Amino acid sequence: MFRKWLKRIGIGILILFVFLSLLPYAFPLRKFPHFLEQKNYFPESKFIEIDRVWLHYRVFEPSQKSQGSILFIHGFSGSTFSWRKNVKFFQEKGYQVLCIDLPAFGFSDRQVEHWNMSNEQRIKILWQLAEIINPTAKWHLVGHSMGASYVWNMAIYKPEKVEKVLCVGGLPNKFRPYRSAGMSLLLKYPPIKRWIKVIAENFYFNFEKFKELLASAYSKTPEKEDIEGYLAPFQIQGTTDAILSTFENAPTDTLNVSADYQDFAERLQLVWGENDQWVKKSLADAFVQKHSFVPLRVIPQAGHCLMETHAEKFNEILLEFLRKQ
């Protein structure tokens, strides 16, 4: 009798498993344009293919005598749009400004297999673009959240090409061999990826959900143009697949470099929002306690996206840092 019940339970579980595996394919996915067919580009948008990876970038040339070159790199879910309240300010102060969309985000490539080959490959691609824009520049690197790791790894990879490094709401961590075995295994099962795509594209990639997302990141209610600017890149074909691929196939190498924090004393700084709920300020406090030579600037009442919500104060802090001898 007990074995009969076990058999029935086993059959029931198998039927449920098959049903849930097939069910997501009954729901249609939304149709989005290809990233090169998207119509919401900016007037200064440009594209370039480097090592089989298409990058979207924007360049703002200085409106007066050049004071240097700044590279801005966004965080997770961000894009060049994230720096809209900063680029003109620094352009007018005499800086050449380069903003890049990381692959899978913004208007850059959604085919990310070549981007995911290695962390060293990622850093090489970013440096190639920077050196195409200005071969002789020593760059000021500014990265927000996830972008902080990118600019830090760019800095330790080519320290001779770097002037200053500012990490905004993110720590300057060296890329580590990270790939969640459980996550990677789950994402290799197609129905799970299909479920994520169905839920994300049909229920989350919309105005109201992005309003909630930004309200959390901003620590205040976002404006309509803020929501539309963040939402637009998520309405491109292949976005969900590309983002999932960054988890499933994340590179597992570390950069073989000798440069470290002490080598960037006087050239590395952190800036944080006091009310950041996404990356807690306590992480920054712990970092500077360990590395006391790294300054931490805090913007009162600011959340995670402080360069947007408190642009005037952020621009003031960054300009002061860039001009500091």
Q: Which domains does the chain have, with CATH numbers?
A: 43-177+253-323 (3.40.50.1820)
Residue 277 reports pLDDT greater than 70: yes
Predicted confidence band of residue 13 (pLDDT cuts 50, 70, 90) = confident
Predicted confidence band of residue 112 (pLDDT cuts 50, 70, 90) = confident
Enter the pTM of the model: 0.91
Residue 310, C-beta contacts closer than 8 angstroms, at least 6 positions apart: 273, 299, 301, 302
Mean pLDDT to the nearest integer, 233-238: 91
| Other residues' Cβ atoms within 10 Å of the Cβ of residue 79 | 24
Tell me if 273 sits within 8 A of 299, measured CB to CB: yes
Q: How far apart are CA 224 and CA 125, in angstroms?
A: 34
Q: What is the mean pLDDT of the chain?
A: 90
Residue 240's identity, in one-letter code, is: T
Tell me if 170 sits within 8 A of 146, measured CB to CB: yes
Residue 103 reports pLDDT greater than 60: yes
Tell me if 303 sits within 8 A of 217, measured CB to CB: yes
Q: How far apart are CA 211 and CA 214, in angstroms?
A: 5
Measured between alpha carbons, how far is residue 174 from residues 121, 261, 295 in Å? 15, 10, 19
Mean pLDDT to the nearest integer, 106-118: 88
Residue ranges with strand state E in 226-311: 268-273, 296-299
Confidence at residue 180, expressed as pLDDT on a 0 to 100 scale? 57
Mean pLDDT to the nearest integer, 230-241: 92
DSSP 8-state assignment for residue 113: T
The first and second tokens of residue 133, run together, are 């824009």
Mean pLDDT to the nearest integer, 32-37: 65
Comparing 85-89, 124-128, 235-239, 290-294, the range with the smallest average pLDDT is: 235-239
Residue 181 reports pLDDT greater than 70: no
Residue 179 reports pLDDT greater than 80: no
Measured between alpha carbons, how far is residue 315 from residues 26, 90, 142, 204 in Å? 49, 8, 12, 32
In whole angstroms, what separates CA 218 from the centre of its chain? Answer: 16
DSSP notation for 270-312: EEEETT-SSS-HHHHHHHHHHSTTS-EEEETT--S-HHHHTHH
Tell me if 252 sits within 8 A of 313, measured CB to CB: no
> Which tens digit of pLDDT belongs to each residue from 188-229?
888 888 888 888 888 889 999 999 999 999 999 999 999 999
Q: How far apart are CA 223 and CA 22, in angstroms?
A: 40
Pairing of strands 45-50, 139-144: unpaired
Confidence at residue 258, expressed as pLDDT on a 0 to 100 scale? 80
Confidence at residue 197, expressed as pLDDT on a 0 to 100 scale? 86
